[in-house]
Structures are given as structure tokens and as C-alpha cells.
Amino acid sequence: MLESAGGNVKMPDINKAYSWAVNTCNAPNVGYSQTYRNQQTVGGITYYDCSSFINYALIAGGWETPQYAPKHNPITTGVEINVLLSLGFTDVSNDPEYLPGDIGWTSGHTEMCYKGGTGKGVFMGAHTSNAPLENQVSIGSSKGDPNYERTFPRRFRYGSGGASGYGSSIYVIASIAGNLRQESNVNPGIWEGLRQGTWTELKHGFGLGQWTNTGGDTHGRLYKLHEWLSSNGYADDSGEGQCQYIIEENVWYSTGEASAYSSLSDFLTSDSTDITHLTHAWNIGWEGIHDSSWDTRVTYAKEAYQYILDHGNDSSITQWITGNRYLNVGEMLNNSVMLYRFFSAGGGGGGTPSKRKVTMPVWMMIRYR
């Protein structure tokens, strides 16, 4: 069956909008144009202007703008303030603290805050056509400075805490997908051996990562997964919920090949393009094992990489496929795309998913509690 979140209405998520913005800024072949501003691809380049960039970031975050993009012309700076307020954003222009995810506005221009600060911040968005292509839509300035800070006279924020952001690369997520295919068919609804267990049962796995209670602890990783999903409004077989729990659980064993990364956030923000190394690192670092399935996991990871590269932005892929059954290869790869979209917003709004031009700040990755 397809995940439906139990019929609950899904709330917009500023993290997804933020992650889309990061990845779109870092994707190749994305440029600035007022003529082709409605996410149009011309000559292999996908275009935005400043306000259409914000409009599509909002759509990626789950907001609907039926009077504007994608069915009509995107919002303009002239109507943007009213649109943001109608979507639940609040005016925080008088707050001296700039937070990631804040939308800055001035007459004729708008961008999203990438890195906050007191009195100013680093912003990202569609700057200008009067710059090299790689700097037209980017983090920082159109002159290629990723640390350029600026102010905006008006700022708007969704919620109170800003965006945490993920922004993992296609290589990192392919390595995770390869491991999860070996563990669970990349299936958030599968029990080990297809035998439905209980949340306090020992040595019987469930879900994407086959969370298991071990060491005689009936309230171990499996039990804690179930409790967190339930208390946060997710179904037990929610792919999105289990991805979020990976962040919340924050497990990392920094040993063996995983010792190249000091933490989960360090791994998720890796710039490595070595899928074999990344696959081994996740196997040890998150799953805590090293066995004869390594070569198989790498093969699966490389297959996931190619599929995500080819289909990361396919509009036909919209939902997790879940259930207590074995998935076919097509269904596993569908879920690999969903995994990628959660952690990196599907490669952004154009171009080909690739190594990022700017690394996501590590401090944004994990919300310590």
C-alpha cells in the first residue's frame, strides 16, 4: 500500500523548503532569467528569478500557491509579503536574530537565509543574470563569495526556530539506500522474516533500518522508534517518520571506516564521492556491523545512485511504498528516491544532482535535545 499518513493533513515544513533551496543553489545548470522564471528549462539550463525561486522553495516545503506557480506565473516581490502572511509566516523584521529559513524581502528582491546571525546573515537565491552561471543562483553573493552577509529591511519566518536543514549529497544517500536495501528492501513497513513482532520483543527487526532491541533491553532501539513515531504523529510504517527518526536518534559508531566521520551529521554532510567507502562507513557507523554482505551493499548503492541520478525529479514518484512484504526492485528504487528527497529535496529544482558547491553547516544538521 502507499503511505497516507493515516489520513492526517501534512503540515508544511520549512526544512524541506530550505533543503530545496540549498540543493537548487548547488545544482549545476541553474540560472537567473525573468523571461524563463517559471522553472523553465531552456538549452539544458533551468531558470528562476528571485521571487520564483522563493515560490518553488515554498512548494517543495508543502505550501500550495494555486494562484501562482506551478500552474500560473510565480509570485512577484510586489505580492510576496501578502502571500507569505497568508501561508502562516510571521513578520520578524524587528527581531535582530536572523535564522536559517527566514525569507528576506526588499523592494524588488528576495532571498532565503542560509546561515543566520545577529543583525545579518548569509542568504541564498536567484541573484542576477549579470554573473557567471554558477553564481547566478547560489549561496552567498553573485560574485562567488559563499560567506557574504547581508541585511534585509523585511524578514518573514515560519514557526519560531528556523530551519535545521539536511542537504545530503546523492553519493551519501545512495550509500544509505544500498545498505537499507540489504536490510529491509528499503521498506519502512517490513518486519524481519515477515513475522510481525512486538515493540518490546528482543532480536526481531522492523522498518527501514531494521531497528532491533538487543542486549536484553526490551526498551531498546525498536521500542524507542515506535514511541517516537507515535508521539510525533507518524504511523509506524511511515518512511518520512523513520527518516526523521534517523536524525533524532543520532546514532553513530565512529570506528573502522566509519572513523572518518566523528558523528552522524559529519557523515550526512560528507563531500566524498566514493560510494564504496560511504557504503562501508554507514554499515559500520550506523548499523554497527561488518559482514560478508559488503560487496552486495555496494552493488545496491551504485544501482541506487544511477536511479536517483536518472529519476530524482520524476513527477511520477510521489509516495513511499510500504507494507509487511518483500518489495520488487522497482519499488525499492522508488523508495530510494523518496529517501533522497527527504534528505536533500531531490537534487533541487533543476540540473543534475551532483557534488555540492557549498557544504551545509554541520551545526544545522542535528537538532540536539
Residue 159: predicted pLDDT: 84
- What pLDDT, in 10s, does the model give residues 21-58? 887 887 889 999 999 999 999 999 999 999 999 999 99
276-280: long-range contacts (C-beta < 8 A, 24 or more apart)? Answer: 276/301, 278/171, 278/172, 278/174, 278/175, 279/175, 279/178, 279/179, 280/256
Residue 359: predicted pLDDT: 43
Q: Which residue has the cell 540536539?
A: 368
Residues of the chain with CATH 1.10.530.10: 170-364
Calpha distance 302→346 (Å, rounded): 17
- What pLDDT, in 10s, does the model give residues 302-361? 999 999 888 876 767 878 999 999 999 999 999 998 898 788 743 343 333 444 444 444
Residue 47: predicted pLDDT: 97
Which ranges constitute the DSSP H helices of 169-263?
170-184, 221-231, 239-249
Residue 364: predicted pLDDT: 44
Q: What share of the chain is helix, strand, coil (3-state, %, to 5)?
A: 40, 15, 50
Calpha distance 114→137 (Å, rounded): 13
Residue 165: predicted pLDDT: 55
Pairing state between β 45-48 and 30-32: parallel
Beta pairing partners, 191: 206
Contact yes or no for 39/151 (Cβ under 8 A)? no
Query: Which stretches of the chain score pLDDT less than 50?
Result: 1-9, 345-369
Q: Assess if CATH 3.40.50.300 describes domain 170-364.
A: no
